[in-house]
Amino acid sequence: MGLDLLEARIGYIFRDKTLLREALTHPTFVNEHKDLGLEDNQRLEFLGDSIVNTAITRHIFNLFPDAKEGELTKIRSTLVNEGTLSKVASFFDLGDFLYLGKGEDLNHGRQKSSILADAYEALVGAIFLDSSFDKTYEIIEKHFDSAFGHIEDVYSLDYKSTFIEYCQRKYKCTPDIVLVDEIGPAHSKIFVIDVTVKGKVFGRGKGRNKKQASQMACREALKSLEDMP
């Protein structure tokens, strides 16, 4: 298949097509075609690994304004790993475009999670070299949204269900989750939500949307329970 089809799928047209071809070239292909003087994708993979980590770190830092360092680290590790990256690659059928050695190809290399994840990182590295970090960040965000839905839904912060279950068991009632404020301009609002039980505020949370703010409020409510005897 032509590389223009892959470019259409990933939403990026390369100015330097050699970068794209290098990103798709597995070491086994280079080993079998040493006379061609090709470069494999390992250096681009090394670069792309850092770019993906930085992009996702930046995104979740903005997306979860109340989350502490440990929680942000946990969210990032859930989002950036071989499994998720290979799923993003599979969404675009990246494996169909790889240059693999014959043995690796016969051994179902185009479906291997490790090869797909590495190839996606290499692709990201190539896009970065061909454009800029801001453009690459935009592309990564679109890729994750296309493969999984919104990033905040990939990592499910289900504090809300946990706190509701606790209240039903302990207080025989359901907590009230109330929007108390909206901060900032219309295009970049921060929502503030309180979670209350029988009129008492147990937690307050902020988020880019009401769902996220509710989860953060319930997280704070659960933390307050940990301090109780």
Among 22, 40, 45, 49, the active-site one is 49
Q: Which residues contact 199 (CB under 8 A, 6 or more apart)?
A: none
Residues 67/75, Cβ–Cβ less than 8 Å: yes
Domains (range + CATH), the chain = 3-154 (1.10.1520.10), 159-226 (3.30.160.20)
Report the phi/psi class of residue 126: left, alpha or beta, with left for phi > 0 and alpha for psi in -120 to 50: alpha
Residue 96 corresponds to which tokens in the numbers above?
């169909």
Task: Specify the pTM.
Answer: 0.70
pLDDT at 228: 41
Instruction: Count other C-beta atoms under 10 Å from residue 126's C-beta.
Output: 27
Residues 225/205, Cβ–Cβ less than 8 Å: no
Is 16 noted as a catalytic residue in this protein? Answer: no
d(CA 70, CA 68): 6
Residues 69/56, Cβ–Cβ less than 8 Å: no
Residues 194/217, Cβ–Cβ less than 8 Å: yes
Residues 210/190, Cβ–Cβ less than 8 Å: no
DSSP labels for 180-229?
Answer: EEEES-GGG-EEEEEEEETTEEEEEEEESSHHHHHHHHHHHHHHHHHT--
pLDDT tens over the chain, length 229 residues: 689 999 999 999 999 999 999 999 999 999 999 888 889 999 999 999 999 999 999 998 988 777 789 888 988 888 899 999 999 999 999 999 999 999 998 999 899 999 999 999 999 999 999 999 999 999 999 998 888 766 665 555 578 888 998 899 988 999 999 999 999 887 778 899 999 999 999 999 888 788 878 888 888 898 887 544 3
pLDDT tens track for 178-195: 999 999 887 778 899 999
Is 49 noted as a catalytic residue in this protein? Answer: yes
Q: Which amino acid is at 98?
A: L
d(CA 74, CA 52): 16
Among 121, 130, 194, 220, the active-site one is 121
Report the phi/psi class of residue 183: left, alpha or beta, with left for phi > 0 and alpha for psi in -120 to 50: beta
Q: Which amino acid is at 78?
A: T
**Residue labelled with tokens 């988020």:** 207
pLDDT at 219: 83
pLDDT at 155: 55
